[in-house]
Structure 1
Amino acid sequence: MTGFETKYRHRRQQARQTWFPSDAPEMARLQEETGMVLRFAIGDPPAELEQDILQEEEASGPFLRIPGKVRDTYKTLTFKTVAFWEVVAQHFSVQYVIKVDDDSYVRLDRLAIAIGQWQAIGAEYIGCFKVRDNSENRLRLRTHRWYDPHHELFEGDASFYAEGPFYVLPGPTIDGIVRSGLTVRMGGPNEDIMTGWLMKAFNVSHYDDRRLCYKRFCDPALIAFQWDHSASVHTTARSTSVGGDAALSVSPAGASGTDQRRDKVLPSQAGFKGHLGQPGSFAAGGLAGVPRMDDGAAAPGPGPEPSGRQRPAGDRGGGSARGKARGKQQAPPAKPRPRLVRLSDEMMAFFTNRGISPAVVERNGIQQEKRWSHKRERYVDMIAFPYYRNGELVNVKYRSLDKEFSQVPKAEKVLFGLDDCAGASEIIIVEGEMDKLALEEAGFRHVVSVPDGAPPSVREGALPPPEEETKFAYLWNCRAVLDQAARIILATDGDAPGQALAEELARRLGRDRCWRVRWPTADEADEQQSQAGTARKDANEVIMKDGREELHRLVAAAEPYPIRGLFKISDFFEDIWASYAEQDSQEQGVSTGWKGLDPFYRVVPGELSIVTGVPNSGKSEWIDALLCNLAEQCGWSFAMCSMEKKARDHARQLLEKHVRKPFFAAQYAGNFQRMEPEAVQAGLSWLDQRFHLIRYEDDELPSVDFVLDIARAAVLRYGIRGLVIDPYNELDHQRPPQMTETEYVSQMLTKIKRFAQHYDVHVWFVAHPRQLRDWKGDPPNLYDISGSAHFINKADNGIVIHRNRDPARGSLSQVQVLVRKVRNKAAGTIGECLLEYRRATGRYEDAGQS
């Protein structure tokens, strides 16, 4: 609310020149297009100012008058607030009442997005609930302007009232307070304390949204920003993707009277026309409201759940019952509630000694907090690196000066600096927060740091261990930003873990758009420089020892991974030497788990294996057994598109192979004892981590493009190493009329091979043979596959699975694995082996193994 004395008039003028509707027609248009109603709210002014009020209303639009002889003074602010609520309840039906100080700049386009998010999650009392010290002198001193005798109400509970300059109240609660006839007797200037007390008394849940904080040391200017009206001001706030802008630039009109209305961004101008449904009520520059929406009204994607009192478990909204029953409900990530303060001189010196300026530190919102130190077994001050996504704080990473690290337990993992990269076509990924800050000093703003550093160095000839696969969940959580980047520069550390991290990031993000920074090594320097120690490990070390210009030069000289479609032999020198030194055994593949088969066939990432055999020969069973071996021995995970099996039955068969016991006490189990419930539980947990099912739930058949799209997502989200497509004839094979089946199969297999090579994923593709005439029980060959000879021509490996059906030829449990094609001679050769199929468990064993 604003007073009407002359000293406040310039505030209203500057608001109208920048963000507030400038006249009555603009107010009406905003209300019609967005459902927002904005008003300056005033109490009873002196009689001598009535004519000035009328003139200003005629020129700039109506005020919202608060009757009742409530004067605009600090001493009456709480009473004036309740009187305003009575006016709102009498004349409007609103979902939200939003209070904004008249010395604030508000981004209405960003506010429109936030309102939709609040509606989607059912947020009620919304504001910046940062922790404050209620024992501070300004609240206790009777002579102070903001003295309030009721501050003790929130002793130890201070975060339950929002900061006064900008907060949001639920309209229905305001109606209830007014209808209750409650008389507020608190008095005093601090209507924010009074409001928080009432919300607590009415059991209204609070939602801590730091986008509403205007102070620099909190989370500035994402939606609202406080300016100094005494002179022209230019402020660049934190970057954010809320509303689609990278930064907020505010230039209010100052003493010069320059017209700044060109900077005004209204919701309708930013693509939010009709976003909030039918017109309702909204007042700003004083208080504001947002209209209620029908249950079916659309809103943007849900944000975080409000804190405080929880909503009923069945009142979350969204999703069908079938969808909810399909998978287990996972607990939402923890929301950080830090108690941050500005960096001390000692903490700031930590950054300046490492080449990071205070301006860069403050722009990234870095502060400090007292945290428990496991090293020292006491609370110590730690640096707090805030992790934001779309302006929302989702995690905080802490670092002590002696390099003890921690994060908010169970918080969502995202990249540090993510909002700096919203909409960026080029993104730089580094290994630590200090490297991100160093690159910003060197002139690079679109930089992010991984939250957990690098995984351990990969052992010689080994693939990444399975426990490291979970460390890349942040890529999936940040995919909306990463997917927009056409060029990703990997500037991870130059040591072995850093290079392992770069390789895994390139594999998951796609090598075709990745570039890499090479840090100086002693081998690359001349002898004199080498003796001086010019080897550098990371960006922060470069800026500390060599300066900003050298760091900028090294990043600008990043090399591609490599140039797509055009290569020099030197681009592969590292891979060739690594292969020669047997440091990379992927070319030779990994063991199948069967000693008799390994000399002929080993599994190589990036290859395509075609598997065929007559019906009921056990092709799918053998592949499932192979995958279980790889999961148990190598920690691999897989995506499986098996259209002929129900998910329940497929999981049961995999479970039997892993537990090595039958699922049922049925005839097929023989003398084997059925698996115990504890084994089922443990086995299901193991399966859930390693096998991911691709299901097409519509009536139509899935296309190969659909399968590969989902598999790409599985690489990013789960780091899968293998893909099964079983079988070919269960895919949708619509093709243009002029295209032959041979041409179609060739193009399809080319897509699959490119996927395998691009993402280092081994693909098993099951294809049935055509109907064999006069078949006498012999195994088919690869050219018998129905559809095209390209199944054998394009494959890296061709395998025939054949089960003996004639007791005269041997055991009926005997299975032949005939390797009929091997392109990579380092991984195998043409040959065959015998396996014994154990029907009770579904496992295969080397023939002759007891």
Structure 2
Amino acid sequence: MTFEENGIYLKGTSGQEKTTCPQCSSGRRKSSDKCLSVNIDEGVWHCHHCGWNGSLKNVKNLTKSEFVPMPTLPEPPETNLPEKVYQWFEDRGITRLVVDDAKIGYKNRWIQFPFYKGGEVVNIKSRTADKKFRQEKNAEKCFYRFDHMQGMETIIITEGEMDALSLVQAGFTNVVSVPDGATAPNSKPSDRKFSYLISAEEHLMNAEKVILCTDSDGAGQHLRDELSRRIGREKCCRVTYPDDCKDMNEVLVKYGEERILEIVSSAYPYPIDGVVIIEDVIDEAIDLFNTPEHLGLSTGWLDLDEHYRISLSEVSVVTGVPNMGKSEWMDALMINMVQLYGWKFGIFSAENFPVKHHLLKLVGKFSKQAFWGDDKMPEEVARASMNVLNDHIKFIGTQESSVTIESIMEQAKILNYRYGLNGLIIDPWNTIEHKHGDGENETNYVSRVLSQLNTFAKVNEIHIWVVAHPRKMENGADRKPVVPNPYDISGSANWFNKADNAITIHRHRSQEDDYVGVHVHKIRFQYKNGKPTTGSEPAKLNYNVRTGNYETYIPRVKENIFRQDKQSESESSQDSLFKKYD
């Protein structure tokens, strides 16, 4: 299978390239637009216009539940509006001139808002007077008024089409609206819900300021915070409405165009890094005050929860003697977070390259079945597992000869914009190319980079794990490796001082027992994330060598470590495995 056999013609032989799409370009007005992104080295492609994607190694055979049909281009709506429609808009402060300029349509009691992109209609959103909504089937998801954000230094984003037109009525042109409104507060944002961000990535990344004018209710605030997290809070601003208004159209109706101008001109930024204004955190502090029992998320291992729970906006350092299972434990924790909470991860794991080997290990943990040997899982279980993991795990730094902390954060920032990351794993520290500043020693370098990671975690509201090897360790009096701690990591005591949480993974073996110990040395916020194991025994787990899972600790002697409970394996059937994701 070649690119040419799929109708893809390229100039280069390596790297990434953009070209026209054989699936949709010929039917577009802008047929020369290079909407297909191709990674030549990995043999994969994705069209940002129609969504077509595939791979040379295995042209994607989508299941019925995964299939996303190629977007269709609807016909522009009829713009001969009856007077009652113009009156409906005028009652909401929108003049005939603005309505005509927006090319609003009307059909069978449905008011039609055309979505123009590249000068052509790619979607139509319709509504009735009593707020029933629908969109064209199989149409492209993009911002309403997409073309009006191109080349703009400042972009204003609203939650609905009427709010966008209210800003246009007040004289703004650089206004767009999300296509689907807001999601419920505390809901998990899906990739499909925010797919409209992908086609707007270049414009939003190049803009100097993005003003978020979502509704003031809980759903609108949830949308605002998720947009700002993905776009980057350093360039986003918020607005404040009058107490009796929840959106821009209500402001227009009750107070007029001048008040809209005042609100936009008074848009204020998210908190400056390192500076917190009390009014910005009052609601969050009161929420914490009223729910003091609120805890971080469980790791999935109950015996560990009293010592280590996971919260966003933190950095955890994980260390341990080589070959004691640091990376295996990190993979298992990641899979637990995917299965329990639907988390999405970016992961740099240099010692697990190439990715295909790493993926099989993750599949074993996800399915709780062996991925090798005579009793390995069926192929359909492996494929189903990979399809689920594809939505939750993205690998970083796979094509680079040298990876730096800066490049990892840059790629993580892009992934966060497109998919909404919750976690970032850097494993291990010593495989990264470290660029010290002029006259900067290792201690100062480690301090600076950990500060950058802390800031990145807080700004993007993700949890970062850094896996770092200790310096060469001596054996104890019993000739067994001593349990290291973060102070033993090569470079600096800052590994302990600047991390929010510090953990050692260590395998304890003796004639009496054999287990994996999770030694928790530091928890910054103990009221919600647990208390360290310092001065006591570690949290204990058993390791299942066949599946790669860590399980509830049961005392066992060393020679029995590879025994498996066949009955418990059989209880995890394929049908029940994916029930959670149906």
Q: TM-score over 0.5 for the alignment?
A: yes
Q: Does 1:500 align with 2:222?
A: yes
SS at match of 2:351: coil
Map 1:147-186; keep pairs closer than 5 Å: none
Q: Distance in 2 between matches of 1:327 and 1:554?
A: 52
Q: Distance in 2 between matches of 1:601 and 1:501?
A: 30
Aligned counterpart, 1:393:
121
Q: Distance in 2 between matches of 1:745 and 1:564?
A: 20
Q: Distance in 1 between matches of 2:463 and 2:80?
A: 50
Q: Does 1:475 align with 2:197?
A: yes
Give the letter aligned to residue 74 of structure 2: R
**1:628/1:317 Cα in 2 relative to 1: closer, same or farther (>3 Å)?**
closer
Q: CA deviation at 1:632?
A: 1.2
Q: CA deviation at 1:759?
A: 0.1
SS at match of 1:804: strand
* Cα pair 1:657 1:841 within 8 Å, conserved: yes
Aligned counterpart, 1:616:
323
Q: Distance in 2 between matches of 1:578 and 1:465?
A: 19
Q: Distance in 2 between matches of 1:509 and 1:602?
A: 28
Q: Does 1:581 align with 2:290?
A: yes
Q: Distance in 2 between matches of 1:440 and 1:433?
A: 11
Q: Distance in 2 between matches of 1:318 and 1:794?
A: 38
Q: Give TM-score, length-normalised by structure 1.
A: 0.57
Q: CA deviation at 1:754?
A: 1.4
Aligned counterpart, 2:360:
652
* Cα pair 2:191 2:418 within 8 Å, conserved: no
Q: Does 1:518 align with 2:240?
A: yes
Q: CA deviation at 1:578?
A: 1.9
* Cα pair 1:777 1:805 within 8 Å, conserved: no
* Cα pair 2:79 2:103 within 8 Å, conserved: no
Q: Distance in 2 between matches of 1:406 and 1:492?
A: 20
Give the letter aligned to residue 336 of structure 1: L
Aligned counterpart, 2:96:
358
* Cα pair 2:321 2:481 within 8 Å, conserved: no
Residue segments in structure 2 that go unaligned for 5+ positions in a row? 1-18, 45-54, 63-67, 556-567, 569-582
Q: CA deviation at 1:320?
A: 6.4
Give the letter aligned to residue 540 of structure 1: N
Larger Rg: 1
Equivalent of 2:495 in 770, 775, 791: 791
**1:710/1:360 Cα in 2 relative to 1: closer, same or farther (>3 Å)?**
same
Give the letter aligned to residue 472 of structure 2: Q
SS at match of 1:553: helix
Give the letter aligned to residue 348 of structure 1: Y
Aligned counterpart, 1:800:
504
* Cα pair 1:722 1:762 within 8 Å, conserved: yes
Give the letter aligned to residue 835 of structure 1: L
Aligned counterpart, 1:302:
34
Q: CA deviation at 1:677?
A: 2.9
Q: Does 1:766 align with 2:467?
A: yes
**1:757/1:584 Cα in 2 relative to 1: closer, same or farther (>3 Å)?**
farther
SS at match of 1:448: strand
1:167-206 superposed Cα distances (whole Å, 9 cap, x missing partner)? xxxxxxxxxxxxxxxxxxxxxxxxxxxxxxxxxxxxxx97
Higher mean C-alpha deviation, range 497-506 or range 397-406: 397-406
Q: Does 1:325 align with 2:33?
A: no
Aligned counterpart, 1:842:
548
Q: CA deviation at 1:398?
A: 2.1
Q: CA deviation at 1:602?
A: 0.8
1:618-672 superposed Cα distances (whole Å, 9 cap, x missing partner)? 1111111111111111111101111111211211111111111112234xxxxxx
Q: CA deviation at 1:208?
A: 5.1
Q: Distance in 2 between matches of 1:737 and 1:570?
A: 40
Q: Distance in 2 between matches of 1:760 and 1:317?
A: 30
Q: CA deviation at 1:362?
A: 1.9
Map 1:707-746; keep pairs closer than 5 Å: 707-736=408-437, 738-746=439-447
**1:725/1:208 Cα in 2 relative to 1: closer, same or farther (>3 Å)?**
closer
Q: Distance in 2 between matches of 1:123 and 1:620?
A: 41
Q: Distance in 2 between matches of 1:321 and 1:829?
A: 44
* Cα pair 2:318 2:466 within 8 Å, conserved: yes
* Cα pair 2:475 2:482 within 8 Å, conserved: no
Aligned counterpart, 2:72:
335
Q: Distance in 1 between matches of 2:173 and 2:382?
A: 50
1:423-468 superposed Cα distances (whole Å, 9 cap, x missing partner)? 222222110000000111122221111111000121xxxxx425x3
* Cα pair 2:208 2:235 within 8 Å, conserved: yes
SS at match of 2:140: coil
Aligned counterpart, 1:413:
141
Give the letter aligned to residue 91 of structure 2: N
SS at match of 1:644: helix
Q: Distance in 2 between matches of 1:206 and 1:706?
A: 36
* Cα pair 1:515 1:562 within 8 Å, conserved: no
Aligned length: 512
SS at match of 2:124: strand
Q: CA deviation at 1:501?
A: 0.8
Map 1:109-128; keep pairs closer than 5 Å: 120=20
* Cα pair 1:336 1:396 within 8 Å, conserved: no
**1:366/1:497 Cα in 2 relative to 1: closer, same or farther (>3 Å)?**
same
Q: CA deviation at 1:818?
A: 0.4
Q: Distance in 1 between matches of 2:174 and 2:293?
A: 33
**1:822/1:320 Cα in 2 relative to 1: closer, same or farther (>3 Å)?**
closer
SS at match of 1:625: helix
SS at match of 2:195: helix
SS at match of 1:351: helix
**1:300/1:753 Cα in 2 relative to 1: closer, same or farther (>3 Å)?**
farther
* Cα pair 1:628 1:657 within 8 Å, conserved: yes
**1:805/1:320 Cα in 2 relative to 1: closer, same or farther (>3 Å)?**
closer
Aligned counterpart, 1:538:
247
Q: Distance in 1 between matches of 2:443 and 2:246?
A: 52
Q: CA deviation at 1:336?
A: 1.4
Q: Give TM-score, length-normalised by structure 2.
A: 0.82
Aligned counterpart, 1:135:
none
SS at match of 1:480: helix
Equivalent of 2:297 in 590, 598, 603: 590
SS at match of 1:471: coil
Q: CA deviation at 1:545?
A: 2.5
Aligned counterpart, 1:665:
373
Identity of aligned residues (%): 37
Give the letter aligned to residue 658 of structure 1: F
Equivalent of 1:680 in 382, 389, 394: 382
SS at match of 1:398: strand
Aligned counterpart, 1:238:
none
Q: Distance in 1 between matches of 2:417 and 2:177?
A: 17
* Cα pair 2:116 2:122 within 8 Å, conserved: yes
**1:206/1:822 Cα in 2 relative to 1: closer, same or farther (>3 Å)?**
closer
Map 1:79-98; keep pairs closer than 5 Å: none
SS at match of 2:335: helix
Higher mean C-alpha deviation, range 356-365 or range 768-777: 768-777
Q: Distance in 1 between matches of 2:373 and 2:185?
A: 46
Q: Distance in 1 between matches of 2:205 and 2:440?
A: 33
* Cα pair 2:474 2:482 within 8 Å, conserved: no
**1:320/1:652 Cα in 2 relative to 1: closer, same or farther (>3 Å)?**
closer
Equivalent of 1:430 in 131, 147, 158: 158
Q: CA deviation at 1:829?
A: 1.8
Give the letter aligned to residue 302 of structure 1: K
Q: Distance in 1 between matches of 2:22 and 2:370?
A: 48
Give the letter aligned to residue 34 of structure 2: P
Q: CA deviation at 1:327?
A: 7.5
Residue segments in structure 1 that go unaligned for 5+ positions in a row? 1-118, 125-204, 212-298, 305-315, 371-379, 459-463, 522-534, 667-672
